[in-house]
Structure 1
Amino acid sequence: MACRLSELVVDCRDPEELAAWWAEVLGYRVLSRDEDGAVEIGPETGFGGPAPTLVFAPVADPSPGKPRLHVDVSPSDRDQDAELDRLLALGATPADVGQTGEENWHVLADPEGNPFCLLRRRLEPPPTPERPT
């Protein structure tokens, strides 16, 4: 059996603020808060579900320089242009990582400057878990 991606950890200055921002972007909710200040967000299914969770861990000074990992997001209920407008309204900013301008994706940065890409391809939203009635 192979491993499965279960969570991504992001070092940041303000875990509460960045977790809230990414929760809004992804339609996630806060799953837990640790004593050390880390905040975990994820889908309704929680940790171990079909999508990985994100853990925002507090660090005094996140490492500068080019990150070795970034997140790609895809629109799920609108086209790429409408999603770009939504992300910019939430506080994302355009980022230049050396792209040519011919790409069919947008490179943006979250409020702490972490780059991520908005892809063109629209994905269906994940199924909502059934709740007991």
Structure 2
Amino acid sequence: MACRISELVIDCADPERLAAFWSEVLGYVEIGREDDGSIEIGPPGTGSGSPLPTLVLSPGSDPRNGKLPLHIDVNPTDRDQDAELERLLALGARTADVGQTGTESWYVLADPEGNEFCLLRSRIQPV
């Protein structure tokens, strides 16, 4: 038997704002809220324990910004990379500099709280 990733938890100052941002980025919906202010989002029609991982945006007293030891990579599903970049920037993402050379096939971005993530080039099928 093996394990699978069921949730990715992101500590943040404003779970409401990041839940809204990441829901728009990923096409996720709110699945639930906890008494501590955490908001779980995931693919429509799923819930906690689904085979697809969910994101939990959890209020933290000292969230880290910038380069994290773990980051999220996203791929466009219904448009090319440049069109998806425009969409993400319009949602509130911003470009981030982590020392890229300019020849990379991906873009490094930051969410509204400064957490870095990458927009990859390849288009993949939606779930």
The answer for the alignment partner of 1:130 in structure 2 is: none
> Which one scores higher on RCO, CA 8 angstroms, separation ≥ 6?
2
Q: CA deviation at 1:65?
A: 5.9
Moved more, 15-24 or 58-67: 58-67
Percent of aligned positions that are identical: 68
- TM-score w.r.t. the length of structure 2 is 0.94
Paired with 2:124 and 2:66, the residues of 1 have a C-alpha distance of 31
Unmatched tracts of structure 2, length 5 or more:
none
> Within 5 A, what are the aligned runs for 1:107-126?
107-126=108-127
Q: Could you say if the C-alpha distance between residues 48 and 104 of structure 1 is closer, same or farther in structure 2, counting changes exceeding 3 Å? A: same
- Following TM superposition, the consecutive aligned residue runs of length 4 or more in structure 1 with deviations greater than 6 angstroms are none
Corresponding position of 2:88: 87
Match of 2:78 in 1: 77
Alpha-carbon shift at residue 49 of structure 1 (Å): 2.6
Q: CA RMSD in A?
A: 1.2
Distance 1:64 1:75, change over 3 A: closer
Range moving further from structure 2, 4-13 or 50-59: 50-59
AA matched with 1:33: R
SS in 1 for 2:68: coil
Question: Unmatched 5+ residue regions in structure 1?
Answer: 127-133
For these two proteins, the number of residue pairs brought into alignment is 126
Deviation at 1:37, TM superposition (A): 0.4
TM-score using structure 1 length: 0.90
